[in-house]
Amino acid sequence: MKITVHGCGYVGLVTGACFAETGVSVVCLDIDSDTVDRLQTGDLHIYEPGLEDLVQRNLEAGRLRFSTDIQAGVAHGDAQFIAVSTPSGGNGEADLRQVFAVADSIAGHMTGYRTVVCKSTVPVGTCAKVQARIAEKLKERRAGFACDVVSNPEFLKAGGAVSDFMHPERIILGTRSERAIKYLSRLYAPFQRKRDRLMVMGPASAELTKYAANAMLATRISFMNELSGVAERVGADIEQVRAGIGADKRIGYNYLYAGCGYGGSCLPKDTDALAQTAREHGYRAQIVEAVSGVNESQKALLGRKIQAWFAEKLPGRLIALWGLSFKPGTDDMRGAPSLALIEFLLSQGARVRAYDPVAIERCRALLGDRHGLEYAQSAGEAVDGADALAIVTEWPQFRSPDFGLLMDRLREPVIFDGRNLYSPDVMRDKGFRYFGIGRGERIARDNGSGVHPVGEEVFRPWGSFEGLGQGEGYQVKRLRVLPGETLSLQRHRRREEHWVVVSGTPVAERDGESHSLNVGDHILIPLGAVHRIHNPGDEPAELVEVQLGDYLGEDDIERFEDVYGRA
């Protein structure tokens, strides 16, 4: 059997190489001569596990060729696969110009019947338009033959595309042509020897199935990201929630991981295109629209957490970034959450040192030389001297790092985990400040009043405080001071404070005198006294603080010395 694949991008290259592996004679066409020349030598322009070996093996066997000769390509294949890009337009609609250009080329060079197979992800009705377009061209040529156009959507995961193609869960053919069904059934026979995976339906149903599948996956991700926001606010752990609902067989565990948003060439583009398709037909797909909105907000979440932690001290800080590609197993940067985070951090005056096992060059090509952005050659180099670590892509090598070495290399033991790779309890025991998505510590901003809601824990570089109670003229807090940390030297003009030690051995400084404290000790900080607290111990120190006065606002703090630059 002979086929031609139009487009040597991600889908086209995988399609051509996998069919060649079964003995099919394949020609892959592309208009980019540089790309074709590279591929003909086995030099791939994309990274996908297993694909390079597959291409090299079939090049050497003569079953796979790459060319820019469209006329020869159309003459070669009984089936013409369209596998070109359909990027999003300004309103979310799919840009079909490349699809129609290929259709015109096929129609202009056909010398007999061809089965035209649309692998590109396209809106409902596109195959009918391609069919009509080719038919019109053939009529103009007064050709005595026709063609059938079939929707055959791809279901390939980046990082697992070769396996997905070789071991498909389903093979969908959208056509009413028995001739096309018979030919494509033979072509796909090697991929369904254990059981029949072929599903034949109308072209519109096949096109909608592709969009619906990606929209469903995106919905599950955005739903979990919505829940993670609830979990942070009520004190739940989203990973425990995921385990609980995933155990229900009606729900399952796939695509239920909260994180810093999804990216790639499919989910963002296809959800937008599905929503636009609905609008064009007089219907508003509200859930689909909301899914995209949640994802855009989620991509900004890590940046907001980092900004809340460092506050006005973010400019000049060095943030180590682990992971650039939108998911592990690929160098694809399209729609990657890392891009949103990098742009935000640079806009705030922070510096970024990024590492990714395979996507650095692709990121460099996208962002160019940017002031404040540098790339590391290893995960360890990325964190050397960094003020915090942000994890954006869950590459396997990030799952079990040497935490002792990580602690030594970071200037501050702070981790913002956009993929929830680590246990918050384990990270706390190891001495890290750990902020995940829907789990770990929570960062809250002051509201300016100085009175914090009961039960809300507010994190600071020196530790944290939590509101325990409040009323007219008083406020009670729990202070947690990390080992080696010191609060600012300060005084209040409208309130006094009482400190009671409940754990640790802190040292209180009051009007120039130091007081070593133990569990159960109490010290009064009178109105106007210059004071601060320091924890010289190896364990966190906890104190209960009672504030009494006619005004408890934050602007009643006058700072004299502060290691965090707030004086």
Question: Mean of the pLDDT values across residues 304-326?
Answer: 92
In this structure, is residue 108 part of a structural domain? yes
127 catalytic per annotation: no
Residues 465 and 314: their CA atoms lie apart, in Å, by 21
Reported as a pLDDT band with limits 50, 70 and 90, residue 447 is very low
DSSP 497-538: EEEEEEES--EEEETTEEEE--TT-EEEE-TT--EEEE--SS
pLDDT of residue 455: 56
Range with the poorest average pLDDT among 148-157, 289-298, 321-330:
289-298
136 and 150 belong to one structural domain:
yes
Query: For residues 195 and 204, is the Cβ–Cβ distance under 8 A?
Result: no
pLDDT of residue 449: 41
In this structure, is residue 175 part of a structural domain? yes
Q: Extract the tokens encoding 249.
A: 């067989």
Percent of the chain's residues with pLDDT above 70 = 96
Residues 184 and 150: their CA atoms lie apart, in Å, by 10
The catalytic position among 118, 127, 266, 363 is 266
Measured in degrees and rounded to the nearest 5, phi and psi for residue 388 equal -165, 160
pLDDT of residue 457: 67
165 and 222 belong to one structural domain:
no
In this structure, is residue 446 part of a structural domain? no
130 and 245 belong to one structural domain:
no
* Domain C-terminal end among 263, 294, 325: 294
285 and 308 belong to one structural domain:
no
Residues 125 and 545: their CA atoms lie apart, in Å, by 67
Residues 254 and 491: their CA atoms lie apart, in Å, by 54
pLDDT of residue 566: 53
pLDDT of residue 415: 97
The CATH number of residue 284's host domain is: 1.10.1040.10
Q: Extract the tokens encoding 265.
A: 């060439």
354 and 467 belong to one structural domain:
no
In this structure, is residue 474 part of a structural domain? yes
pLDDT of residue 446: 43
Decide if pLDDT at 51 tops 60.
yes
Segment 500-512, tens digit of pLDDT: 999 999 999 999 9
Segment 330-382, tens digit of pLDDT: 999 999 999 999 999 999 899 999 999 999 999 999 998 899 999 999 999 99
The CATH number of residue 30's host domain is: 3.40.50.720
Among 88, 118, 111, 265, CA closest to 180: 118
Decide if pLDDT at 244 tops 90.
yes
pLDDT of residue 99: 96
318 and 461 belong to one structural domain:
no
In this structure, is residue 450 part of a structural domain? no
- Does the reported pTM lie above 0.95? no
Decide if pLDDT at 123 tops 70.
yes
Burial 199-226 (b: 16+ CB within 10 A, else e): ebbebbebbbbbbebbbebbbbbbbbbb
The rounded mean pLDDT for the chain is: 92
180/482: higher pLDDT: 180
375 and 394 belong to one structural domain:
yes
In this structure, is residue 440 part of a structural domain? no
Q: How many domains does the chain have?
A: 4
Question: Mean of the pLDDT values across residues 543-553?
Answer: 90
pLDDT of residue 450: 45
Classify residue 27 as exposed, middle or buried by CB count within 10 Å of its CB (0-12, 13-18, 19+).
buried
Strands 513-516, 489-492: parallel, antiparallel or unpaired by DSSP? Answer: unpaired
265/220: higher pLDDT: 220
474 and 538 belong to one structural domain:
yes
The CATH number of residue 544's host domain is: 2.60.120.10
522 and 505 belong to one structural domain:
yes
230 and 321 belong to one structural domain:
no
In this structure, is residue 178 part of a structural domain? yes
196 and 132 belong to one structural domain:
yes
* Domain C-terminal end among 294, 325, 340: 294
123 and 146 belong to one structural domain:
yes
pLDDT of residue 451: 45
Question: Mean of the pLDDT values across residues 215-232?
Answer: 95
Residues 383 and 152: their CA atoms lie apart, in Å, by 45
Specify the DSSP element, H or E, that contains 131: helix 126-141
Specify the DSSP element, H or E, that contains 188: helix 178-188
Reported as a pLDDT band with limits 50, 70 and 90, residue 472 is confident
Distances in whole angstroms, Cα of residue 87 to Cα of each of 91, 160, 368, 555? 11, 22, 22, 52
* Domain C-terminal end among 201, 225, 250: 201
Residues whose CB falls within 8 Å of the CB of residue 28, separated by 6 or more in sequence, listed in order? 4, 5, 7, 8, 12, 13, 16, 39, 64, 65, 66, 67
Residue 388 structural domain: 300-435
Dihedral (CA of 356, 359, 360, 364) sign: negative
Range with the poorest average pLDDT among 286-295, 328-337, 444-453:
444-453
In this structure, is residue 316 part of a structural domain? yes
pLDDT of residue 90: 66
